[in-house]
Structure formats: C-alpha cells, structure tokens
Amino acid sequence: MVQASSFLRVVVFAALSQFIFSVLCPGAALAGAKDETAAEWLPIPKWFNDWRSDLDKKGLSFGATFIMDNIGNVSGGMKRGFINFGRLDLGVDADLEKLAGLDGLKFHANMFEIWGRGLTHDYIGNLATVSEIEALPDTRLYEAYLEKTLWDGKLAIKAGQQAADVEFFDSQTDDLFINGTFGWPAIKATNLPAGGPAPPIAVPGIRVKAQPAEGVTAFVAVFNGNPAAPGPGDPQLRDNHGLAFRLQDPPWLIGQVRWDYSLEIAGMTLPGNFTPGAWQHFGSFDDQRFTMQGLSLADPAGTGIPARHRGNQGYFAVIEQTLYRPASVTEKGVNASVQGITAFARIAYSPPDRNLIDLYIDGGIGFSGMIPGRPLDRFGIAMAYMHISPTARALDIDSQDFTSLPTPVRSNETLLEMIYEAHIKPGWLIAPYFQYVWRPSGGVSNPLDPTGLSRIGDAAIFGVTTTLKY
C-alpha cells in the first residue's frame, strides 16, 4: 500500500508538471533566451530582485538551486519502492577585486540542505548511485574557497574546501545525466577513502590550473586524503555538517592535461577535447583478498584483518567530441548546451589487489536543441561499466570453498540511462529518466535474503527530477 501510494505521487507529480508546462507556458522554450534563473517569473518582490541585482553589479552574488527527485525501482534491487528526496543549494560568490580592490581574487561558498531517503542506499544497493544528489539527510557546508587568477587568466590557484568532480575526469555531455557515476565516477567514489572529494563532502585542498599554450589546459590538485574521520559507519555521519576541515590525513594528488582541437568534416567545424590524467594516494589500503598472514579473508583460521598496501593510484582518460553543430552556432570549443550533438567516453584503471573496481568505462551521447520548437531541451543516452577486480572475485570463490555454499560471485555492474530534460521556463527544468542496473554491486548477495544465496536482482528505475534555479 505504501509503495502504491508513493508510485501515485510520482505519476501525479509528472502529470501536474506536464499540465503546468503545456497550459501556462506552451512557448516557454521558443524564445531561445539563456536559461539561467527563475528570478524574472517567480513571485518574489521586485525590490528584492533589484537589490540582488545591485549587489551583483558591486561584486556580491548569491543564489539558490532547488532539486527534487521522485524515483522508484519497479523491479529488482534489494526491494521495490518509490521515494521522494531532494536538496537545496545555497551559494554566495564575492568578486573581491570589485569589493575590496584585491586584483583577480574571488571567494565562493555554498551549503546543502538534504532531505529524504536514497534509492541506492535503501532499495537497490548498487555501486553507481542512482541520483547524483542522493545523500544522508543533513544540513552541511559544501565548498568554501578563494581563487586567484593571474596573467590574464592563464593561471588560476584555488585554495580551501573544494570538490574534484567538476574539473577532474569530467566532460560537459555527462552533466546531462542523473546517475552519480556520470559526475563522480564509481571507480573513484568506491576506491577512495570516504568516496573522495565529491558530493556531498568537499575536502580542503589546493588546485592549480594553467594554460601554457593555445588549446592546452593543465590541472593539478592536492587534497586531504580522507574527507571524514576514520571509523565505522557511513563517512557522512563522521563529517555530518561539512565542518571537519581535516588536514592531517595522507594526501591525494591528481593531475590531468586537456587538449582542445577541431575537426573539419562536411563543411562543419566540430570541436573536441582529449584529457589523460592520473592520481596518487599516499595512504594505506586494505587488500581485497588476503590477511596480513597471507590467508584468505574468508578462511576461518585467519584473523580477518586484511593486509595493508602502501599507496594507491589510478589512471584515466576522457574524450569528448562534437558530432554535429549547425552553421548558426559560432561558439568555439565543446559546449553540450548549444544546439548540436556531442558524445563522450571515459576510461579508468586502478590496481586490483587494493581496489574493489579495477576497470571503469562509460560513454554517452547528448542532443541539444534538436527537437523543432524546443531549442533549449536536451536528451541523451549513456552507459557505464564497473568491473569488479579479480582479487575481490577470488575472495568470493574462497567464500564458496570455505562454506561449501553457492554464494554469489561478483563480476561487474553495468548501467544504462536514458533522459529527456525539458526547459519549462528560465531556471526551471523537468527531466524524466529511466535507468537499468545489471548485477548491482557486481552481483553481491542480497542482504535481505537470510540464506545469502541469492544476489540483488537487476533493477529497473523510473524517475522525474525537477530543478529550480534562482
């Protein structure tokens, strides 16, 4: 009865959104205006918007983004159900050159108010978090940093509490998709301590961005290596307000170089970019199979304490390519928001003895402004593949040998996502989507099965995300 009621809320919400869209603003997306903020149509007093605009001209900007996800799995997972959760982002940006005469210096800070349960956490148990905003309910500081630009913007240094998901191992096309792995890939979220510097936990660090030549951009950053204090349980509970500001953990170093280029095909100029990179963590990591005595972790004669490895590393590459762009678009460089078709692919590798995921591959294609009469709408399809390391797989086989039970053996998790993002009014998006997850967490045992012999079922997921930006 609860599931039926939740499903009804999802259907009613989607239908109501479509009704509002079709009746109140049938030509909302026809204007082609830059779709950035809902300030012009939200019922907010004019004096407040004018005051906000005046502050912006003086160098002080603030805004809010409301995101709500209505989502459910109709089959598979640990159990079936439909839920609602969301996040309110409040942010402030200060141009300290305008405000205080500090040349090239800016400040940014934002915070999250998160509510509701998560589908991955409570219903599916997969590696690639179904929604990028899924997190434990909390009010938390996210980012707070200063950024200094030099030499006409060719060098930028950012210091403070920050995340790595926007600049590293990222593309523009993948931002269309809802699943968290298309923002911060599951190989990093799973292998790094506490998931690394990505939503919902940012980490103190320093990032340097440089443009040594035309079309070449280098990024390097060093972060505190653990977003939360060591200990049992969810790391979000060990830094539940984003105020830990940890500096004492072994550091995490990451770097990449992006090359921008253009292809001339059939009279079209099609920009693209290629970004290889690598990272190194200087902490210690558990072996995925063996104890310190060299016995299997599944061996009852062992201590159950995993062997430790010094350091961890990863290698990755991203390619993003414009496939079609009409002659009317004059913008240079890849831009997944202007009219056209773009595609991306990413690959990453980490050592199998100390990482659950040793190989990660994803890719997708996005279409923007390709539907007549809907120049701001986007849609796309993407897939992701997470290979369980052979060391972790060998541990599963050891468990079968020691227990004489046919417990599941993990292999890989594969994800498909399809999404349509409709621009209803400036600053208001509604995006229905579908995801399918094969072998959640690689095919791990379902924790709700008391026998431990059945794996979590393949999950079919439907959702509607609403985003309102002020």
Span 304-316, pLDDT tens digits: 999 999 999 999 9
| Statement: residue 221 has pLDDT above 60 | yes
Cα–Cα dist 242/1, whole Å = 37
For residue 304, how far is the Cα from the chain centroid? Answer: 33
Q: 133 or 267, which is more confident?
A: 133
Cα–Cα dist 104/150, whole Å = 7
Q: Determine contact, residues 425/433, Cβ cutoff 8 Å.
A: no
Tokens coding 269 = 């100029």
| Statement: residue 33 has pLDDT above 80 | no
- pLDDT confidence tier of residue 261, bands split at 50, 70 and 90: very high
- pLDDT confidence tier of residue 15, bands split at 50, 70 and 90: very low
pLDDT at position 252 is 99
Run of H or E residues at 250: none
Q: Determine contact, residues 443/130, Cβ cutoff 8 Å.
A: no
pLDDT at position 230 is 81
pLDDT at position 28 is 36
Q: What is the chain's length?
A: 470
Average pLDDT over residues 243-262: 96
Cα–Cα dist 52/64, whole Å = 12
Query: Is the four-CA dihedral 281, 282, 283, 284 of positive or negative sign?
Result: positive
* Structural domains of the chain in order of their starting residue, each with its CATH number: 2-469 (2.40.160.180)
Among 390, 371, 388, residue whose Cα is nearest residue 379: 371
Tokens coding 464 = 């509607």
Start-to-end CA distance of the chain, whole Å, equals 37
Run of H or E residues at 9: helix 2-24
Three-state SS at 43: coil
Among 330, 323, 337, 316, residue whose Cα is nearest residue 423: 337
What is the percent of the chain with per-residue pLDDT over 70, rounded to a whole number? 93
CA angle, 84 then 86 then 88, to 5°: 160
Burial of 48 (0-12, 13-18, 19+ CB in 10 A): exposed
Q: What is the DSSP string of 344-403?
A: EEEEEE--TTS-SEEEEEEEEEEEES-BTTBTT-EEEEEEEEEEEPHHHHHHHHHHHHHH
Among 380, 381, 397, 399, residue whose Cα is nearest residue 389: 397
Torsion on CA atoms 4, 381, 318, 350, rounded to nearest 10: 40
| Statement: residue 9 has pLDDT above 80 | no
CB count in 10 Å sphere of residue 401? 11
pLDDT in tens, 201-210: 999 999 999 9
CB count in 10 Å sphere of residue 327? 8
pLDDT at position 229 is 84
Place of tokens 């086989």: 397
Residues of the chain by 3-state class (helix, strand, coil), percent to 5: 20, 45, 35
Among 334, 369, 414, residue whose Cα is nearest residue 173: 334
Three-state SS at 36: coil
Q: What is the largest distance, in Å, between two alpha-carbon atoms of the chain?
A: 73
- pLDDT confidence tier of residue 332, bands split at 50, 70 and 90: confident
Run of H or E residues at 97: helix 96-100
| Statement: residue 240 has pLDDT above 90 | no
Three-state SS at 148: strand
pLDDT in tens, 94-118: 999 999 999 999 999 999 999 999 9
- pLDDT confidence tier of residue 328, bands split at 50, 70 and 90: confident
- pLDDT confidence tier of residue 32, bands split at 50, 70 and 90: very low
Among 462, 447, 465, residue whose Cα is nearest residue 74: 462
Tokens coding 73 = 């799995």
Cα–Cα dist 295/320, whole Å = 44
Tokens coding 59 = 């160098």
pLDDT in tens, 429-463: 999 999 999 999 999 999 999 999 999 999 999 99
CB count in 10 Å sphere of residue 275? 21
Among 312, 317, 398, residue whose Cα is nearest residue 356: 312
pLDDT at position 26 is 39
| Statement: residue 17 has pLDDT above 80 | no
pLDDT at position 327 is 87
